[in-house]
Structure 1
Amino acid sequence: MCNSMAPLKVETFSGVAAKSPIAQCVKAVLRRACLEKRLTVGLLPAIQYLSTNTDGALFCFTAEAPPGDSATHMQEVLLQAFCVENDIHVIKVDSPAKMMKILGCKDQTIDFNCVLVHYPYTDPFSDSQEMDMSILTEAEKDLIDHCDGSWASSQTSVIKLPEK
């Protein structure tokens, strides 16, 4: 599904990535992590998790805070900075509702503005400081490649998640 990656096309007026294979990778990563119970959902639970497990998270998916919610926006900015500092891949998506739908949740009270994906249960670093890439799925590897490829970009693209 995610083996053949095409370069992202970014619309200059919005920074929103056009529908692309990377969106399918996001979907696959979220669903697999959900099945394996490797998720922390919600901004405050994510912050609490990261306060004690800086090496435990692989990805941090964030969606824009609602307009006018400056407190949530500030928390998101600080969380993203923390993730970057701790080598956690930050991925912006277009909709918390789409993340909720991908994960099969119907509870409207749960905050899907932030979803952390944890490493698989084995120790990702074993005896070295380098991550063991063999424990990751192809979709996770493709998503890491996408993040590494856009690391130096001054504008972070927003991945448009599939509707279904």
Structure 2
Amino acid sequence: MTLEEVVGSNSTEKRMETVTQALEELLVAARQKDGLTLGVYESAKLMNVDPDSVVLCVLATDEEDEDDIALQIHFTLLQAFCCDNDINILRAESVRMTRLARVLEQDAEEGNGNEPRDLHCILVTSPPAQPLQCPALENIGSFCEESRCRNTWVPCLALQDR
């Protein structure tokens, strides 16, 4: 391994940590402003009705979901819709849903009946009348733009378990 490879991989790791922290900050800020939509079906409904208010789509999976074909099909459709409507997308892979629930201060079991809460798709919305002012959103937006310039249309992150 050359020095350039070591330095390059270290800066990439730091950039990913920065973007991961920005994502957590953005989710907290959006939750406080009631700017989150949770769940695959709820997200699809919102994007169908008001795609202009959506500024970020986060698709999250854990190890158990890797082989869930239906979920992967939903993700593919959501990604296509986001690309068609210029909505930034992040993929959070190998995420522990309990970690994501803690960031969102949600009870992972707080769904309908005995169903666990669906945190596989999270939309961050920012209505034009009251736009979400958050440096984390700008950081994530520039990260997504940089990724598209490198032909990575759906960049992947890993939320750190703390």
Query: TM-score, normalised to structure 2's length?
Result: 0.78
Task: List gaps (5 residues or longer) in structure 1.
Answer: 1-5, 10-16, 125-134
SS of the equivalent of 1:90 reads strand
| Offset, 1:19 | 5.3
SS of the equivalent of 2:51 reads coil
How big is each residue's C-alpha offset from its partner over 1:40-89, in whole Å with a ceiling of 9 and x where there is no partner?
00001000111100101000000237133211110111101100110110
SS of the equivalent of 1:162 reads coil
**1:132 corresponds to:** none
| Offset, 1:122 | 2.1
**1:19 touches 1:162 (CA, 8 Å); kept in 2?**
no
Distance 1:144 1:77 in 2: 21
The structure having more radius of gyration, on CA atoms, is 2
- The structure-2 alpha-carbon separation of the partners of 1:52 and 1:26, relative to structure 1 and needing over 3 Å to count, comes to same
**1:28 corresponds to:** 25
Give the CA RMSD over aligned residues: 2.3
| Offset, 1:138 | 0.8
- % identity of equivalent residues: 22
The one-letter amino acid paired with 2:146 is: G
**1:45 corresponds to:** 42
The one-letter amino acid paired with 1:29 is: L
**2:44 touches 2:78 (CA, 8 Å); kept in 1?**
yes
- May I ask how many residue pairs the two structures share in their alignment? 142
- The structure-2 alpha-carbon separation of the partners of 1:99 and 1:107, relative to structure 1 and needing over 3 Å to count, comes to closer
Which structure dedicates a bigger proportion of its chain to helix? 2
**2:103 corresponds to:** 102
- The structure-2 alpha-carbon separation of the partners of 1:46 and 1:70, relative to structure 1 and needing over 3 Å to count, comes to same
| Offset, 1:96 | 5.5
SS of the equivalent of 2:148 reads coil
The one-letter amino acid paired with 1:110 is: R
- The structure-2 alpha-carbon separation of the partners of 1:72 and 1:37, relative to structure 1 and needing over 3 Å to count, comes to same
Distance 1:68 1:52 in 2: 30
**2:149 corresponds to:** 152
SS of the equivalent of 1:140 reads helix
| Offset, 1:107 | 3.0
SS of the equivalent of 1:110 reads coil
Name which of 5, 8, 13 aligns with 2:12: 8
SS of the equivalent of 1:100 reads helix
